[in-house]
């Protein structure tokens, strides 16, 4: 966990939510009131966000006492109690919504990722996330993918060169784009992997002629063309399939022999896992 990044996220989220005070709690609950609450699972799935929740409670009020019963990555079922928290009721109520929002979102992503990973069992293919994340939540959403058994792709625009169709078109072709990327890395003394997206077998042939990349993304290929592409690449480069891949067809894509499959659906349209924080 990147503590500095997480603390900045928590600070921003609390500022957005609390403003100049939780006036409902301040007006209805006497100062100094102590209480307890338990986090209850209301839907089966894979748990994620416990470690983040502990940081949220700590930032809100370091005097809150939290006892954890189930850890990140565990399978959970309806009625399971993940943790209990005790201390200032005002602090518990401030932390409540942020803890639930994060854990529900992360657990939904981890659950979806786990389901996909299970479908790839017995193949060499691993599942990747994408940059199709919620602005401001990318770190925790990609964290949830890892908890669910997936693999993170690049974090952002800064940690990998990924030459996509628009880059190729603007650069004037595949060879020009690849050569320009190498020159850029040399000029700026950077060491980054280079991946290039191809849209068809003709573009793949051009990439193989030029070389100079670490990974080839095969975008929106039919199964027949994907198998042909993997055979043509012949393990000279890492392969990644993308575009139109769902939980229903992911196993068919993996059967084509690619190293990775990237799925934006892991993060951009996932359903949160239901849970609640209840006083007791």
**Rounded to the nearest 10 degrees, how much is the dihedral formed by the CA atoms of 223, 224, 226, 228?**
160
The yes-or-no answer on residue 197 being catalytic is: yes
Report d(CA 25, CA 44) in Å as an integer: 31
Residue 88, beta-bridge partner list:
34
CA distance 241 to 227: 11
Specify the 3-state DSSP secondary structure of 202. helix
148-179 in b/e burial notation, b at 16+ Cβ within 10 A?
bbbeebbeeeeeebbbbeebbeebeebeebbe
- Compute the distance between CA of residue 43 and CA of residue 271 in angstroms, rounded to an integer: 11
Find the catalytic residue in 72, 195, 197, 240. 197
Tokens 């603390």, residue located: 7
Task: Determine which one of 132, 146, 199, 227 is catalytic.
Answer: 132
Catalytic residue among 164, 165, 199, 227: 164
- Region of residue 172 (left: phi > 0; alpha: psi -120 to 50; beta: else): left
Active-site residue, selected from the candidate residues 97, 131, 138, 227: 97
Q: Degrees (nearest 5) of the Cα angle 116, 243, 181?
A: 115
Would residue 219 show up in a list of annotated catalytic residues for this protein?
Answer: yes
Residue numbers annotated as active site: 97, 132, 164, 197, 219
């Amino acid at each position: 966990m990147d503590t500095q990044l997480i603390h900045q996220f928590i600070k921003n989220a609390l500022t957005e939510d609390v403003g100049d005070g939780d006036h409902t709690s301040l007006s209805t609950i006497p100062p100094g009131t102590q209480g307890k609450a338990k986090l209850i699972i209301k839907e089966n799935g894979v748990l994620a966000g416990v470690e983040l929740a502990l940081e949220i409670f700590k930032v809100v009020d370091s005097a809150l006492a939290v006892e954890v019963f189930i850890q990140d990555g565990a399978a959970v079922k309806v009625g399971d109690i993940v943790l209990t928290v005790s201390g200032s009721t005002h602090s518990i109520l401030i932390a409540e919504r942020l803890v639930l929002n994060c854990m529900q979102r992360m657990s939904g992503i981890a659950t979806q990722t786990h389901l996909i990973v299970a479908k790839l069992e017995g193949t060499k293919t691993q599942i990747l996330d994408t940059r199709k994340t919620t602005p401001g939540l990318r770190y925790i959403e990609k964290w949830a993918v890892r908890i669910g058994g997936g693999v993170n792709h690049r974090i952002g625009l800064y940690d990998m060169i990924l030459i996509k169709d628009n880059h190729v078109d603007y650069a004037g072709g595949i060879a020009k784009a690849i050569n320009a990327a190498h020159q850029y890395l040399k000029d700026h003394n950077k060491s980054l992997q280079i991946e290039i997206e191809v849209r068809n077998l003709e573009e793949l042939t051009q990439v193989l002629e030029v070389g100079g990349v670490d990974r080839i993304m095969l975008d929106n290929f039919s199964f027949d063309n994907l198998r042909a592409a993997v055979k043509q690449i012949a393990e000279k480069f890492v392969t990644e399939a993308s575009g139109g891949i769902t939980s229903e067809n992911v196993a068919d894509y993996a059967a084509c022999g690619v190293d990775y499959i990237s799925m934006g659906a892991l993060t951009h349209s996932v359903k949160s896992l239901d849970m609640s924080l209840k006083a007791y």
